[in-house]
A = this chain, B = another copy of it.
Amino acid sequence: MPQGQPENVPDDGLTTRQRRNRPLVLVHTGTGKGKSTAAFGLALRAWTQGWPIGVFQFVKSAKWKVGEEQALKTLGASGEGGSVAWHKMGEGWSWVQRDSQLSNEEAAREGWEQVKRDLAAETHKLYVLDEFAYPLHWGWVDTAEVIEVLRTRPGTQHVVITGRNAPPELMDFADLVTEMTKVKHPMDAGQKGQRGIEW
């Protein structure tokens, strides 16, 4: 994307610098591909800036996104850029006892509780809440509470939320919303997902 100039300057009493460093909430939604992929691509930029990155995967299966996981963990361990903490709901969140049997709904809520704790402690500078739109859409996690927590989060912490069916209230609140629209997909022509492309 070419460097953009703001179309108008808001009357919000902030300097350009303050506005520039404003913590952002980004939402990637829609039925097309690229929602999570673009979020992990953003993490590459954050890593280069040396930012601590927290990834929370709100999905059941651990099969998906192994490519991104391995690559970002390798970057995090390289000692050159930012750190990478990778949390997965699919295998049970690491901070939850193994023998506790959480339902998916409970597990999603538990993930959100950890995000809240990390936001309060300013643990990361970029949060990737991957597929978090689903538990919001299903009502497992309260959207109004999420918005309130995000609105009052301390410091400069950027948050990217991905997933289909992001709640309208969340999109209203977010600073940047991108909808990925499927124009054409090989599965329409009977092709199954393939390694290296789909995961």
A63-77 contacts to B (CB < 8 Å): 63-64, 66-68, 70-72, 74-75
Within the complex, the shortest CB–CB distance from A55 to chain B, in Å, comes to 12
Q: Which of B34, B39, B191, B195 contacts A22 (CB 8 A)?
A: B191
With A46-B67, A48-B66 already in contact, the answer to whether A176 and B181 are too (CB < 8 A) is no
- Rounded to whole angstroms, the CA-CA distance of A1 and B187 in the bound complex is 13
Within the complex, the shortest CB–CB distance from A146 to chain B, in Å, comes to 17
Q: Are A158 and B197 in contact (CB under 8 A)?
A: yes
* Interface 9-mer from A2-10, A102-110, A111-119: A2-10
A62-96 vs B, Cβ < 8 Å mask (1 yes, 0 no) = 01101110111011001011000000000000000
A28-68 contacts to B (CB < 8 Å): 28, 30, 32-42, 44-49, 51, 59, 61, 63-64, 66-68
A147: Cβ under 8 A from any B Cβ: no
> Which residues in B have their C-beta under 8 angstroms from that of A28?
34
A146-174 contacts to B (CB < 8 Å): 158, 171, 174
With A32-B179, A71-B81, A177-B184 already in contact, the answer to whether A4 and B193 are too (CB < 8 A) is yes
- Rounded to whole angstroms, the CA-CA distance of A135 and B78 in the bound complex is 36
Q: Which of B2, B78, B199 contacts A45 (CB 8 A)?
A: B199
> Which residues in B have their C-beta under 8 angstroms from that of A59?
2
Within the complex, the shortest CB–CB distance from A180 to chain B, in Å, comes to 6
Q: Which residues of A contact B (CB under 8 A)?
A: 1-10, 12, 16, 19-22, 24, 26, 28, 30, 32-42, 44-49, 51, 59, 61, 63-64, 66-68, 70-72, 74-75, 78, 80-81, 125-126, 158, 171, 174-199
